[in-house]
Amino acid sequence: MKPCTAKCGRSAILKRPKTGDTLCKECFFQAFENEIHFTITRSNMFTPGSTVAIAASGGKDSTVLAYVLKKLNTKYNYKLNLVLLSIDEGITGYRDDSLETVKQNRDDYEMPLKILSYKDLYGWTMDEIVAAVGKKNNCTFCGVFRRQALDRGAIQLAVNYLATGHNADDIAETVLMNILRGDLARLKRCTSIITDSGDGIPRVKPLKYTYEKEIVMYAYFQKLVYFSTECIFAPNAYRGHARVLLKDLEKMDPAVIMNIIQSGESLSVAETASLPKLTKCERCGYGSSQNICKACVLLEGLNRGLPRLGIGKSSRAKKMLEANVGVKVDGDTVNSANTCDTRQCCSKNGSCQNK
């Protein structure tokens, strides 16, 4: 057996995907947690005394995030009040099961848990939405509604921050996708470690520089309970192709993930580029880059039996909304894919387009 390269005297049992170091379990835990601590402190992520809602899906990322934040909060005395916030999309056989894992996290980590459902917020479950719109565009509804549902939950809980489980792989994929799509607005903000939701509660990404493979390794060696089944409505989406490309590149050089993130961080968008400004939706009052937010447009379509309203870049959708609802929608409808950055859903194989 090789000795641990941290020179602790123990035998190594793993090779870190991120650095190639061969480490014992204890030194891996320490390196993994130290890097997250460094990410948090270097970005001045949290003000002491704040309340942080952790967007919890029961998956590996949010489970590890909750576990590590609790540990670091105690070890370094961040003075944070941590709570779990989950969204129940109403997906039978998927979210109902994963929420049981979140409840287990609540008990294990002794954090309060709030669950908000699409049914209560919007009057529709994802099962009902899929029955109305089919499986092609279902993730557009799910991602848009989830993003707003988390904002609503954070406001209801009166938290100071919303922490999401985005990891380094997610962010590198998003940089690639936004370049391929020419989506400057998202390219500009997708590498930000702290983003503005438009509702006054910053979203933060403590796992921004943490490799997905190491998250799985950490959860495995810490014996954490997490849910790993893929959503039954997961599509074969664009993000899946970006993920395959990234995984292929990672096999040749694991540093590619960090390189892409650092490239994204270094890019600056030309002053002349037109970028949407965050405002409040005239209907629901939540953060939006349009006069009427995407959630309200989609909901109006569902309620009026016009479920395709607001999907894709369609001037027809705008005209229909203006004719049916009497509201003026500025600009085009937002490209529906990649709208969710909440990491609340499955995404085991990266097929969900709303990560």
| Rounded Cα distance, 193 and 206, in Å | 8
Options 86, 105, 138, 164; binder of ligand SF4; rule CB under 6 A: 138
Please report where in the chains the tokens 């993994």 appear, as a residue. 32
| Identity of the residue, 22 or 98, whose beta carbon is nearer to ligand SF4 in the bound complex | 98
Exposure string over 108-126, b if 16+ CB within 10 A, otherwise e:
ebebebbbbbbeebbebbb
Q: Which is nearer to ligand SF4, 246 or 340 (CB)?
A: 340
Binding of ligand SF4 at residue 150 (CB under 6 A)? no
Sign of the dihedral through C-alpha 31, 66, 264, 41:
negative
Ramachandran angles phi, psi of 236, nearest 5°: -90, 80
- Of 56 and 69, the one with the shorter C-beta distance to ligand SF4 is 56
Q: Which of 89, 127, 151, 173 binds ligand SF4 (CB under 6 A)?
A: 89
Binding of ligand SF4 at residue 55 (CB under 6 A)?
no
311 binds ligand SF4 (CB under 6 A): no
Asked if 227 touches ligand SF4 (CB under 6 A), the answer is no
- Measured CA to CA, the distance from residue 120 to residue 117 in angstroms comes to 5
Identity (one letter) of the amino acid at 129? I
Strand ranges (E), the chain: 14-15, 22-23, 51-55, 81-88, 113-117, 161-163, 194-195, 203-204, 279-280, 287-288
Smallest distance from ligand SF4 to CB 161, Å: 23
User: Are 284 and 296 a contacting pair, CB within 8 Å?
Assistant: yes
Number of residues that bind ligand SF4 (CB under 6 A): 13
Three-state secondary structure string covering 145-214: HHHHHHHHHHHHHCCCEEECCCCHHHHHHHHHHHHHHCCHHHHHHCCCCEECCCCCCCEECCCCCCCHHH
What are 52's strand-pairing partners? 82, 161
Is there binding between residue 122 and ligand SF4 (CB under 6 A)?
Answer: no
User: Closer to ligand SF4 at the Cβ: 139 or 317?
Assistant: 139
> Of the listed pieces 16-24, 135-143, 181-189, 204-212, which binds ligand SF4 according to CB under 6 A?
135-143
Q: Is 142 in the site for ligand SF4 (CB under 6 A)?
A: yes
Instruction: Quote the distance between the C-alpha of residue 66 and its chain's center.
Output: 14
Asked if residue 234 binds ligand SF4 (CB under 6 A), the reply is: yes
Interface residue with ligand SF4 among 233, 297, 310, 321 (CB under 6 A) is 233
User: Does 126 interact with ligand SF4 (rule: CB under 6 A)?
Assistant: yes
Question: Judging by DSSP bridges, how do beta strands 113-117 and 161-163 pair with one another?
Answer: unpaired
Using CB under 6 A as the binding rule, whether residue 302 contacts ligand SF4 is answered as no
**Site membership for ligand SF4, residue 346 (CB under 6 A):** yes
- For residue 148, the minimal CB distance to ligand SF4 (Å) is 13
Of the candidates 39, 25, 351, which has an alpha carbon nearest to the alpha carbon of residue 167? 39
Among 58, 59, 143, 198, binds ligand SF4 (CB under 6 A): 143
User: Which lies closer to ligand SF4 via its Cβ, residue 27 or residue 129?
Assistant: 129
Distance CA 35, CA 12 (A): 19
Is 307 near ligand SF4 (CB under 6 A)?
A: no
Least distance CB 124 / ligand SF4 (angstroms): 13
* 157 near ligand SF4, rule: CB under 6 A: no
350 binds ligand SF4 (CB under 6 A): no
Name the residues that contact ligand SF4, by CB under 6 A.
89, 126, 138-139, 142-143, 231, 233-234, 345-346, 352, 354
